[in-house]
Amino acid sequence: MALSSNLVAVLAFVACATVGAEHREASTAGANPIRKVVTMLQSMQKKVTAEGEKEQELFDKFMCYCKNGDEALAKSIADAERKAPALAADIEAAETQVKQLKLDLKAHQTDRAAAKTAMAEATTIREKEAATFADLKAEADANIAAVNKATAAIEKGMAGSFLQTAAAQVLKKLVLSESHMDDSDREELTSFLSNDQNYAPASGQITGILKQMSDTMNADLAEATSNENGAIKAYQELMAAKEKEVNALTKSIEEKMVRLGNLQVEIVEMKEDLDDTSKAMLEDKKFLADLGKNCATKTKENEENQKLRSEELLALADTIKILNDDDALELFKKTLPGAASFVQLQVNEANQRQQALAVIKEARRTRGSHPELNFIALALQGKKVDFSKVIKMIDDMVANLKVEQQDDNDKKEYCEMQFDLADDKKKGLERSVSDLEKAIAKGKEAISALTAEIKALEEGIVALDKSVAEATEQRKEENTEYNELIASDGAAKELLGFAKNRLNKFYNPKLYKAPPAATGAAVLADVSAHVAPPPPPATAAAFSKKSEESNGVIAMIDLMIADLTKEMTEAKATEKNAQADYEQTMSDSAAKRADDSKSLADKQKAKAETEASTEAATEEKGATTKTLMATLEHIQSLHAECDWLLQYFEVRKEARTGEIESLKTAKSVLSGADFSLLETSESKRSLRGLA
């Protein structure tokens, strides 16, 4: 903490008092001592009155609390008395539930473990049974196969070759181990299987024995298979039941575990609530019990204070009245002719110490609490001043000032570095905001352009679909006209051919072609359905052949038929070309529509992506702007924290350096140097004066 130049003056006073400097006289402005006393008494009067008003205000507030506080405390106590038993009952009920849940959990866990053990044991037994059945079935299948092979071999007359097979050895072992077979049958089969030279073949008997053995073994295998299937079904039913039981127990355990955990937490919370409620109730009861006593004590104290204050004010008023009386003033003038000398002070060692102490107290008042100043004040208040102690205090203060300077140096470095970092961050954020604004503007332009392009593509697709529909409708109309033309021209050709043939029948019988029996009428009917022949001309003269004229008519009919044929040929060619053009147009339109649709989808996707990126850039800009605002606020706080130091750093450093020099001078004075050096201390600027 920096020290003011007043401290240098204090130390000078200490030095002068200690080394026994020459006494100097000092005087103040000479005022009437009686007036001075009266002024002091009036000041005391005002002070006592102000203190009384302040004390009465505090007392009134306390009494207001005394009147209303008991009701609030009584209500709080009543609420706590109702709440505590309810909480205790809830805690007891919850603890009972906890005990029951723990018992239930233990039972469920035991039951689940038993069910899992039963499942494991059943699985072990089932595996053993399955293995036994598998061995039995494998052996039975082998034996049955051997018997069947032997039977088939005997029936085919191949008994000799069968005896050389492995199946014969299997059958031989079976015969020897079969306990339910008659001895005679066993002996017969054994002889057969041993290929004994003395054995007389008895194929029918051997076959019968083998078939009987096969039937018996098949029946035994069927029974074993049935038993195995029953065991599998029973095992599966048992496992399903046990699995269901285990799942139910597991679910119940999990649910009760959750309930138990929640309940235990609730119990802890209720116990804490009960403890807080009980403590609060006890405190409220104690405070309520002491409230009346405290209020009565305060009331009594207030009455006594008022009585004493009234007496004090009365005494002050009487004293002022006495001293202000005209007769008293006249008397004082006569009895105190040297009143001016009353205020003159002779400067001696004790007086200098008192002045130094006053300056220190003033420094403490303006600077606040400072341990070094307090210690110097205590030293000056003592009867003897310890030089070494005061000098050490000065050394400590010099060290403290150097530490303060180093703190300023560190703070200056911190501020400058923070300003640089914050400024760099601000510039980076401002660039980011600017870049984001450009990206957003660019994105909006792209969105606008894509929107226009999408609209144009959509309108183009609609127009293309409309053109396709119109072309399709036109093609249908053209095809309809073509079909009608072909039909009518074909009918006309048939009719003309029929007419030509009919003329030939009469005029040129050799050229006449008789139509099929059922065709003429049908063709005529068909043609008549398209073109009605004109009515026959009226005749009045006798009939005569017009052979020459008929030739001209037939020639004309041939010409007409040729024209119709040509027209139909041209119509077919035109229809074919029109259909090919239509199909090509449809193909091109479909390709264009596909391309436009793909382009539309791409642009819609690009628009969506651009909108998303623009939205992201907008959000990022908002976040970056917030960060920038926070950085600006941080820079503002740095200005509030550092500007004063940076502005006055050199001044503070210079003032602190001067203060250190002043302290060193004071130390030299205390060590026996020339006191004239003290005069320079007053010219030093005070560091605290700049604050």
- The model's pLDDT over 301-312, given as tens digits with 9 standing for 90+, comes to 888 888 888 888
| Residue 63 confidence (pLDDT) | 80
Q: What is the three-class DSSP state of 25?
A: strand
3-state secondary structure 486-551: HHHHHHHHHHHHHHHHHHHHHHCHHHCCCCCCCHHHHHHHHHHHHCCCCCCCCCCCCCCCCHHHHH
Among candidates 124, 109, 110, 108, which has minimal Cα distance to 238? 124
Among candidates 437, 430, 434, which has minimal Cα distance to 628? 430
| Rounded CA separation 449/436 (Å) | 20
| Residue 44 confidence (pLDDT) | 82
What contacts 433, CB < 8 A, 6 or more positions away?
621, 624, 625, 628
Q: How far is CA 449 from the centre of its chain?
A: 36
What is the chain's alpha carbon radius of gyration, rounded to the nearest angstrom?
Answer: 66
Instruction: Say if 190 falls within a structural domain.
Output: yes
What is the DSSP secondary structure assignment for residue 325, as one 8-state letter? -
| Rounded CA separation 141/221 (Å) | 8
Instruction: Say if 378 falls within a structural domain.
Output: no
- Please list the helix, strand and coil fractions of the chain in percent, rounded to the nearest 5, in that order: 90, 0, 10
| Rounded CA separation 216/98 (Å) | 66
Instruction: Give long-range contacts, CB 8 A cutoff, 24+ apart: 51-56.
Output: 51/309, 52/305, 52/306, 52/309, 55/302, 55/305, 56/302, 56/306
3-state secondary structure 560-594: HHHHHHHHHHHHHHHHHHHHHHHHHHHHHHHHHHH
Q: What phi and psi, each to the nearest 5 degrees, are found at residue 684? A: -75, 140
**Residue 565 pLDDT exceeds 60:** yes
How many C-beta neighbours within 10 Å does residue 483 have?
A: 12
Instruction: Say if 589 falls within a structural domain.
Output: no
Count Cβ neighbours within 10 Å for each residue of 277-286 and write b for 16 or more, e otherwise: beeebeebbe
**Residue 667 pLDDT exceeds 80:** no
Cβ pair 80, 284 in contact under 8 A: yes
**Mean pLDDT calculated for residue range 289-306:** 83
Bridge partner list, 345: 26
Structure tokens given for 346: 């002779």
pLDDT band at 335 (very low <50, low <70, confident <90, very high): low
Among candidates 265, 348, 332, 270, which has minimal Cα distance to 23? 348
Q: What is the pLDDT of residues 600-657, one digit of tens each?
A: 899 889 989 999 999 999 998 888 886 788 678 767 876 887 788 888 888 888 877 8
Cβ pair 496, 574 in contact under 8 A: no
% of the chain beyond a pLDDT of 70: 68
Between residues 193 and 580, which one has the greater pLDDT? 580
- CB-based burial label for 120 (10 Å; 0-12, 13-18, 19+): exposed
| Rounded CA separation 414/416 (Å) | 6
Cβ pair 492, 564 in contact under 8 A: yes
| Rounded CA separation 68/336 (Å) | 61
H or E element at residue 380: helix 371-381
Among candidates 130, 59, 134, 650, which has minimal Cα distance to 309? 59
384: left (phi over 0), alpha (psi -120 to 50) or beta: beta
Structure tokens given for 173: 């072992």
Q: What phi and psi, each to the nearest 5 degrees, are found at residue 678? A: -65, -25
**Mean pLDDT calculated for residue range 539-560:** 61
**Mean pLDDT calculated for residue range 253-267:** 84
Most confident of 4-8, 172-176, 514-518: 172-176
Cβ pair 635, 423 in contact under 8 A: yes
What is the DSSP secondary structure assignment for residue 26, as one 8-state letter? E
Question: What would the DSSP string read from start to end of 80-121?
Answer: HHHHHHHHHHHHHHHHHHHHHHHHHHHHHHHHHHHHHHHHHH
**Residue 591 pLDDT exceeds 60:** yes
Angle at 599 between CA 597 and CA 605, to 5 degrees: 100
Question: What would the DSSP string read from start to end of 591-654?
Answer: HHHHHHHHHHHHHHHHHHHHHHHHHHHHHHHHHHHHHHHHHHHHHHHHHHHHHHHHHHHHHHHH
pTM of model > 0.75: no
Instruction: Say if 155 falls within a structural domain.
Output: yes
- Name which of 9-13, 91-95, 156-160 the model is least confident about: 9-13
Count Cβ neighbours within 10 Å for each residue of 415-433 and write b for 16 or more, e otherwise: beebbeebeebbeebeebb
202: left (phi over 0), alpha (psi -120 to 50) or beta: beta
Instruction: Say if 340 falls within a structural domain.
Output: no
Bridge partner list, 26: 345
**Residue 333 pLDDT exceeds 70:** no
Q: What is the pLDDT of residues 364-391, one digit of tens each?
A: 554 444 566 566 556 656 556 565 666 7
Structure tokens given for 264: 């235990």
Supply the range of the domain harboring residue 171. 121-249
Instruction: Say if 660 falls within a structural domain.
Output: no
Pairing, β 345-346 against β 25-26:
antiparallel
Cβ pair 3, 659 in contact under 8 A: yes
Q: Specify the number of domains making up the chain.
A: 1
Among candidates 482, 493, 485, 487, which has minimal Cα distance to 564? 493
Cβ pair 125, 133 in contact under 8 A: no
Instruction: Say if 165 falls within a structural domain.
Output: yes
Angle at 576 between CA 571 and CA 578, to 5 degrees: 90
One-letter amino acid of 43? S
Residue 360: CA count within 13 A, CB half-sphere: 23
Q: What is the pLDDT of residues 83-100, one digit of tens each?
A: 899 999 999 999 999 899
What contacts 547, CB < 8 A, 6 or more positions away?
507
Between residues 394 and 628, which one has the greater pLDDT? 628
Q: What is the three-class DSSP state of 28?
A: coil
Between residues 110 and 195, which one has the greater pLDDT? 110
Instruction: Say if 128 falls within a structural domain.
Output: yes
Cβ pair 470, 531 in contact under 8 A: no
| Residue 56 confidence (pLDDT) | 87
